[in-house]
Structure 1
Amino acid sequence: MELERWRQVPTYSNPIELAEEWEDYGIGDPFVFRYNGMYYLYCSTQDDQIGVKAWSSADLVNWIPEGLVTKEPITKGAYAPEVVYWNGYFYMYTSPGGGGHYVLRSQSPTGPFTVQTDNLGMTIDGSVFIDDDGKWYFTHASGRGILANEMSDPYTFGPDKLIPEAYLQHWTEGSSIWKREGKYLITYTGNHVFSTGYRIQYSISDQGPLGPYRTLENNPFVISTDDKFNGLGHSSTVLGPDLDSYYLVYHNLEGASTSGPPVRKLNIDRLQFNGDRMSLLGPTFAMARPVAKMPDFSAKEVVPGSTVGWKQEQLHDKTIVMSDFKTEQAFTAEYNFHALSTDESSSHIGVVFAYENERNFMFTDVDSQSHELIVQRVNEGKMLLVGKAQIPKETDLTKLHTIRVTSANGKIKVYWDNMYRLEVDRQIAGGEIGYIYASASKFAPAMLFTAYSNDAGGSSDYETVKPVPGSIEAVHYLKDKNRGYSDSLANEHRGIAADDGSMAVVLPKAGDWLQYPIQVKQAGTYGIDLDMLPSDAETTIEIAAGAEKQRFIVAKRNKADQTWEQTRIGNMTLKEGYANLKIKVVQGSLSFKTMTFYPGDEAFSPIDNVPKGMVGMWIPVDGGYETRSHEYIKTFAGSEDWTDYRMDAEFHFPTIPTSDAGLLIRSVHESYYPHQVQDAFTGYYASVNQDGLTLKKVNYGKQEILKTVPLTIQKDTTYRMNVQVTGNRIRIYWNGSTDPVLDYQDPRAYTHGKIGLLSNHSDIIFHKVSVSK
């Protein structure tokens, strides 16, 4: 029945086509802004056109054109417009033609926006973040990393401050800072919009919007270089309709327009969170994904006496307007409202939650005189102060404001205009939500979008359907016992802390299992990686999806150092569509944090020579290929599905090598464009120079040296190098040696990918290159 329910849910597919997109230009640099329960989308303007287009939506899928929200002449070719709301006004930041920023202002998200400043400079792709204390920050692009500016008001910017960790080793743009559960996250994009390897990365900070940040291992976390779907980037992040989830909005590259600028399309995929780690349920392409979940209860506007689902009660000198429906114990409630008048000496507006009856409920009161947000509890008719916090002194309560309340795990959190203001340690039951105000007051509120969902703090990540191919967080199993986890895990299934700020799950004994809802894009064979702790005993696990079921043996390891290992456990055939995926321990125990599925059905076929090709010029010479030292060039062959293989090569250097060249192993996501990072691929590089042999791990410009072996390399001498990659182990043999000169076990292995050749401005001739099992 549960799977049938998913099959009935409406779907959408990336990329999303919108009515009235810019002709021969599409949707580039999309920014989605949420206000009063609605979403507003803005995008870059076609280079020779004036104005900024916008669309609105209630569900992130069905978008209504709102036309041009500004027709100011300076908006010709307006790049990357972004909008922020503050105290009754909407502020737009854009860099027309990439020639510096302007600020525009409106009293509506659909305009008209009018220009408020001269050209402020600061490159392109400006984005505003407002912290919990009401302080503003601006970020923008550079070739050194993302630059940030502290702001004293919406129009005034301090000096540039470099965020060095937000850097893609070349031009870095499309930044956005936001905050979730006390952590600052920054997303950013690079390197060039016309590169198939245009990608999105994120970093996280515990200290503040200016950092310091740290970049987690699962980066870039959005990338695809597939011929049909590539150039993914320039994202924005927005709260989902269910008030708990978050969605990433980004574009893909379709190609060049007839006049030269890029043509791009809109994409929206759901994010998931596990502690410090953020990942995307995607990127999805041409896949019928379920639409975003809506709130469990909502009203676009609440008018006492006429809005269905709401009732009005009198409590002494107070009026309470309440919903007919009750939240569960864990919930998120949102209230959007503004005062009708401020002509009284003491004026209060409150929002109610956990309402059981007139003698037992909680409410958050807003005092317009003291500018305080006050949380109070009514217990058996007695009012008790629970907590209070300041709101900005300039707050005008006749303008729309938002209060959001979450209750989960014994904590109540209160947000004012998306700024976290206070937390209360209190376990509460569910109840009705609503508003409270003085009956005789002229300060009564206009009650606009009001809603709740029975999720809080990311709990909706558990129930959402995970796409395959893709990565599943171990902690995101279905919620209920005997539905999401076995009965014996009632105490143990909460898991353990992993090494990257995330949480992992322990299945301590045979018979323990976890279950996840998945959606397989198309039937086929998929490789499976587990990110797990080694065990000192052999472990057998069983993975089942629908009628498909398969067992895998995980070899025992020396677990003394407790190093997390990214390991390929094998292949499994899956059917297209929805299924519940169960992972069960048959023998031993299992501790893991992610399970990743990727296409693995392309048959291995031996290669007798690598064709010339992807970057630079490969000159055919005597059955091989020669390069020249004035070029950085690389070429790739085979399939990203390939896992274990042997690669053999003969080569010599016509001149004494002053730089490096060598073999690429398990390479994925390769791309090329002149204005991007040089090492635009992810994989291993067996590099040779005059000092010897080095095994490197490469991830789009970042090189990690794994192991180096000194060798004497001379010109005009033929060398033979053989690479064997099996599981997490890489062995390199030199000149026919029976023992490897380099033997490396990578616990964080790249598990699959193509083979290739690379020459970093080196004279080298590859005589023979072959690949076999």
Structure 2
Amino acid sequence: MKTMRWLFLLAVTFSLVASVPTETHAYQNPRSLPGEWEQYGLGDPYVMKFNGYYYLYVSTRDTDDGVKVWSSRDLVNWSYRGLAATDSITHGAYAPEVIYWNGRFYMYTSPAGKGHYVLSSSSPTGPFEVVTGNLGKTIDGNVFIDDDGSFSFFHAGQGRIDAAPMSSPTTIGTSSPTGIGMGGWTEGPTVFKRNGKYYMTYTGNHVFSKGYRVDYAVSTTGPRSDYVADSLNPALISTEGPTVGLGHNSVVIGPNLDTHYMIYHNFEGPGVIGPLRHLNMDRIVWNNDKMIVLGPTATPQPDPEMPAFYDYFDRTSIGSGWANVNGGHWGIYNQELMWQDSVGDTTWHKQISAAASASDYTAEFNMKEMKRGASASPRYGATFSYKDENNFGVAMLSSKNNRLATFFRINGVDQAWQTFDLPAGFDYSKWHHIRIEKSGSTFKFYVDGMMKGTRTANLGGGKIGVLTEDTHADFGFVAFSNDVNGSSAWDAYKPVPGKIEAVHYMKGGEGVAYHDTTANNIGGAYRNDAGDIRLGGEGLFNLGWNQTGEWYKYKVNVESSGYYDIDFRMATTMSGVQIRLWDGSADLTGIIDVPNTGDWDNWRTVSKKGVYLNAGQRELRVEFVKGEADFSRMTFHKNAGVTSISDDFNDGNDDGWTRFEGSWAVENGEYSSGSSTGPAKTTIGDANWTDYTVEADVKMIDSGGDGGVLVRVSNPSHGTERGQNNFDALQGYYAYLTTSGVNLGKMNYSWNFIKGSPQKYATDTWYHMKVVVKDTNIKVYVDDMDQPKIDYTDNSLNPFTHGKVGLRTAGKHTHFDNFKVYP
């Protein structure tokens, strides 16, 4: 029981986080933009943020010179800014990416894939001028700057991603493998850092393939090596439906300062010149170190949230949103920045926001030094958690000492200064960026994206501001958000169909977002409210100690009204546990029984089929009706009734089937995979089917390889087109025969052998196969229809519970007959 398990853990204090307003505006993938390349679109989109604005760069049409650029404040409304570069070297410029460093913008692109060039500009909109010769390397260069100011260059290799050290923004060293690839063509790397770990997203397959997709990998040791691909890959894929061929992404933090977004393109077919592609964007959420893309979506989604407070200084006077403390000479310049130009005294001249943050927050400040005074400590920067002159913190840049200096005053008592060195050669007359993340009593300090240090202080939320000491400084975009380290996921409207993490219940506290019978977070993990959270054995935070009568609410954005199937991820050592799902006062599911899983880390998928949901933004409530269970996540699928299909192929065709690899043909009333080399597959049915039985007669013609039945198939694609060599280009299960037995495997654009049963099967002999799938259980029968040769339940974190059916062979000429599928 909860009270017994509680004895082993420390209770922690909690704070309530206020709800944010409901989103009302929506964007929809895919998107066209004004000024895009005609009949070519918006391929390989890269988005960077500078001084509160986002800038978008895309690949150049193969017949043209120049790199186009757009700008936006919110990632939704984009203004075309023209050609950022016009040099002839940019003819057919592939995947241009831009970074900012120390006053200069550097563009990296590979024109027509013939090596990389670097261009530079003083503005993100250009003009960019070529500053290097051909530096070589294959396509899709990406630059990552680590916390110590060191640079790394990533690019496509032979079936992998390679990386090279950089001694400067324009000098690239020798490349070596990162250890990550998709086997076939791999491209489009993007590297970023979160909570001390390095994340790499990358794209596989050919750009014309519907199976173009995004995976991600994580390294804990450094940016260029020791990456491990995540077990939940692909991170983003869609091969059927309104958007297909998704890939070549960038990752950027959204306007609320907290949410990561994946920006990517879809494939819409061959244009007049090259592939036709357009812009897509979906929210990323986090559970522990797992990156989860809430997509792909192709229906209206809430626009990215803006910060709780922000100021672009796009006016002629400072205005009532700020209060002056300690004087100084302040003003607005060109409706784009705020300045203070008093030099010669060491007073901390401040401008303090009228708005105050919540207890936990993220704040952003942009600034540059115009003139430094002659005192011992001329500096300028940010103040935060400002309550009054006796309670605040500061983070200030010192050009004299080339460092970031931090300070706290708490209840009138000055705390010690703590300083952090900045890279040599920092030009303080150029724009720099300070970011502060506050969670509990911990403050993290970033300069130009580099995490420079952490401090603890007993300060709550408060106002933010800017200040100077014996310095003339300019201040650009300033903002704060009442979210930190991914907490914006809690109040985000998660798309349905899709996955929702149990710990991403909404904000609002007891009686609003949840009902919990204990005052504190028993597990002490992840959140500071009273929800009881622990880190489970699958590497995810989950809700624990859930008692009779407790509940949690989730914000969802239901694609359309209709019936859905829901998979709940549960664990319990108790019998008789029951849960239920509500929408307001409407009982959506009735009682759902949760079986005893035998251990608190023996996770099982508990399914409820045919649940009617109304379209739009809703708040769903998971209630624990009886007993105690831990809750990890829930997955929503569209529900589709299984339609019985029979095909004896006596009509001489395979109408209704979708062929992929191989040379499928109907021969004498039998369906033949033809080739005895490589893979071959064909599918039929609905990807939203769930429980069914499929039967087929199977005759192996060759002694090598295998042949059999596919179930729960989603996202199939052609795995060998355009020189690719992926035998496993689908998500689903494969029950198959060889001459030595019957076997079951799991395919997820990779191969995982599950279980086998040794048997003797002859060639040129018909065998009758039956596969029964119900919830996460799969039974495979051969000839004997009463006793399964394989009985397997997929208790993994990513079981496939929905999908169409199909036939497949690998390295074997096989015939099929008397195929049927039924509920």
TM category (shorter chain) comes to over 0.9
Change (3 A) 1:397 1:62: same
Alignment of 1:258-273 (within 5 A): 258-259=272-273, 261-273=274-286
User: Which of residues 525, 529, 540 is equivalent to 2:578?
Assistant: 540
Matched, 1:638 2:685: yes
**1:233-257 alpha-carbon deviations (Å, 9 max, x no partner):** 1111111111111111111111111
Please tell me the residue identity of whatever aligns with 2:742: L
Identical aligned residues as a percent: 38
Contact 1:663–1:687 (Cα < 8 Å) also in 2: yes
User: Which of residues 474, 497, 502 is equivalent to 1:469?
Assistant: 497
Distance 1:225 1:684 in 2: 17
The alignment partner of 1:225 has SS state of coil
Please tell me the residue identity of whatever aligns with 1:289: Q
In the TM superposition, residue 302 of structure 1 has moved relative to its aligned partner by 8.8
State the partner residue of 1:573.
Answer: 612
Matched, 1:178 2:197: no
How many residues align? The count is 763
In the TM superposition, residue 29 of structure 1 has moved relative to its aligned partner by 0.4
Change (3 A) 1:391 1:719: same
In the TM superposition, residue 387 of structure 1 has moved relative to its aligned partner by 2.4
Distance 1:362 1:654 in 2: 76
Distance 2:544 2:144 in 1: 38
**1:83-108 alpha-carbon deviations (Å, 9 max, x no partner):** 01000000000111111111111100
Contact 2:609–2:639 (Cα < 8 Å) also in 1: no
Contact 1:3–1:578 (Cα < 8 Å) also in 2: no
State the partner residue of 1:162.
Answer: 177
Distance 2:208 2:504 in 1: 36
In the TM superposition, residue 626 of structure 1 has moved relative to its aligned partner by 1.6
The alignment partner of 1:230 has SS state of coil
Distance 1:745 1:329 in 2: 45
Change (3 A) 1:467 1:548: farther
In the TM superposition, residue 560 of structure 1 has moved relative to its aligned partner by 4.3
Contact 1:554–1:569 (Cα < 8 Å) also in 2: no
In the TM superposition, residue 365 of structure 1 has moved relative to its aligned partner by 2.2
Distance 1:227 1:429 in 2: 48
Please tell me the residue identity of whatever aligns with 2:740: D
**1:213-240 alpha-carbon deviations (Å, 9 max, x no partner):** 2333321121111242101111111111
State the partner residue of 1:313.
Answer: 325
**207-216 vs 150-159, which deviates more?**
207-216
Distance 1:720 1:537 in 2: 39
Alignment of 1:707-726 (within 5 A): 707-726=755-774
State the partner residue of 1:522.
Answer: 560
In the TM superposition, residue 609 of structure 1 has moved relative to its aligned partner by 4.8
User: Which of residues 501, 512, 515 is equivalent to 1:483?
Assistant: 512
Change (3 A) 1:535 1:527: farther
Distance 2:794 2:802 in 1: 13
State the partner residue of 2:390.
Answer: 359
In the TM superposition, residue 160 of structure 1 has moved relative to its aligned partner by 1.6
User: Which of residues 367, 370, 378 is equivalent to 1:337?
Assistant: 367
Distance 2:28 2:785 in 1: 53
User: Which of residues 41, 55, 58 is equivalent to 2:70?
Assistant: 55
Alignment of 1:362-511 (within 5 A): 362-379=393-410, 381-438=412-469, 441=470, 443-479=471-507, 480-491=509-520, 492=522, 493-506=531-544, 508-511=546-549
Matched, 1:685 2:734: yes
**298-307 vs 429-438, which deviates more?**
298-307
The alignment partner of 2:245 has SS state of strand
Distance 1:447 1:609 in 2: 74
**527-536 vs 151-160, which deviates more?**
527-536
Distance 2:648 2:436 in 1: 63
State the partner residue of 1:111.
Answer: 126
**1:636-675 alpha-carbon deviations (Å, 9 max, x no partner):** 01111111211212122234x2111111111110011503
Contact 1:304–1:312 (Cα < 8 Å) also in 2: no
Distance 2:347 2:458 in 1: 29
Change (3 A) 1:542 1:502: same
Contact 2:670–2:817 (Cα < 8 Å) also in 1: yes
Alignment of 1:623-772 (within 5 A): 623-628=669-674, 629-630=676-677, 632-655=679-702, 657-672=703-718, 674-675=721-722, 676=724, 677-700=726-749, 702-748=750-796, 749-772=799-822
Distance 1:72 1:108 in 2: 16
Please tell me the residue identity of whatever aligns with 2:36: E
Contact 1:373–1:390 (Cα < 8 Å) also in 2: yes
In the TM superposition, residue 343 of structure 1 has moved relative to its aligned partner by 6.6
Q: What TM-score do the two structures reach when normalised by structure 2? A: 0.89
Distance 1:21 1:602 in 2: 42
State the partner residue of 1:12.
Answer: 27
Task: Specify every segment of 5 or more residues in structure 2 that has no aligned partner in the other structure, as ranges.
Answer: 1-17, 328-345, 523-530
Matched, 1:99 2:129: no
Change (3 A) 1:23 1:303: closer
Task: Specify every segment of 5 or more residues in structure 1 that has no aligned partner in the other structure, as ranges.
Answer: none
Contact 1:91–1:104 (Cα < 8 Å) also in 2: yes
In the TM superposition, residue 342 of structure 1 has moved relative to its aligned partner by 4.1
User: Which of residues 641, 648, 659 is equivalent to 1:614?
Assistant: 659
In the TM superposition, residue 621 of structure 1 has moved relative to its aligned partner by 2.8
Distance 1:239 1:767 in 2: 53
Change (3 A) 1:625 1:275: same
Distance 1:37 1:396 in 2: 20
The alignment partner of 2:89 has SS state of helix
Distance 1:254 1:466 in 2: 26
Distance 2:120 2:138 in 1: 20
Distance 1:151 1:375 in 2: 30
Please tell me the residue identity of whatever aligns with 2:748: N
Change (3 A) 1:694 1:331: same
In the TM superposition, residue 51 of structure 1 has moved relative to its aligned partner by 0.3
Distance 1:663 1:580 in 2: 40
Change (3 A) 1:387 1:725: same
**623-632 vs 244-253, which deviates more?**
623-632
**568-577 vs 77-86, which deviates more?**
568-577
The alignment partner of 1:74 has SS state of helix
**1:372-425 alpha-carbon deviations (Å, 9 max, x no partner):** 211112345553224221111211110000011121122011111111111112
Change (3 A) 1:21 1:757: same
Contact 1:524–1:601 (Cα < 8 Å) also in 2: no
Distance 2:178 2:605 in 1: 30
Please tell me the residue identity of whatever aligns with 1:658: G
The alignment partner of 1:460 has SS state of helix
| RMSD over equivalenced CA pairs, Å | 2.1
In the TM superposition, residue 750 of structure 1 has moved relative to its aligned partner by 1.3
Distance 2:605 2:417 in 1: 46
Contact 1:622–1:767 (Cα < 8 Å) also in 2: no
